[in-house]
């Protein structure tokens, strides 16, 4: 019985962490998109354009990393769920 509880708890934690990863991925994508496209929106920032471009590109790459982590966690949670005897 304790093993079943621990496995369910682990699966829940994996699921919640994957939701966190997807949410952070969306936020990074929005931040990167904003810093790459702020001139097209007519917004004037008092930052160096080269630095905003570098930060925007880094944020988009960070989004890809967060999305990949979330997907890996969902796959791991499914493996744990499939191995459980319910």
Question: How much is the pLDDT for 9?
Answer: 83
Model confidence, pTM: 0.69
Greatest alpha-carbon span in the chain? 60
Per-residue pLDDT tens over the stretch 36-58: 999 898 988 888 989 999 999 98
Angle between helix axes 49-83 and 2-37 (nearest 10 degrees) is: 160
Q: Could you give the count of Cα atoms lying within 13 Å of 58 in the half-sphere of its Cβ?
A: 6
H or E element: which one contains 26? helix 2-37
- Residue 32 CB: number of other CB atoms within 10 A? 20
Q: Which residue has the tokens 């949670």?
A: 77
Total number of residues shown for the chain: 86
The dihedral through the CA atoms of 14, 16, 22, 28 has a sign that is negative
């Amino acid at each position: 019985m304790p093993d079943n509880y621990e496995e369910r708890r682990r699966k829940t934690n994996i699921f919640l962490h994957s939701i966190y990863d997807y949410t952070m991925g969306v936020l990074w994508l929005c931040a990167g998109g904003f810093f790459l496209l702020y001139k097209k929106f007519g917004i004037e920032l008092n930052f160096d354009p080269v630095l905003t471009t570098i930060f925007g590109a880094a944020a988009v790459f960070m989004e890809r990393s967060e999305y990949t982590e979330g997907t890996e966690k969902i796959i791991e949670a499914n493996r744990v769920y499939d191995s459980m005897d319910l």
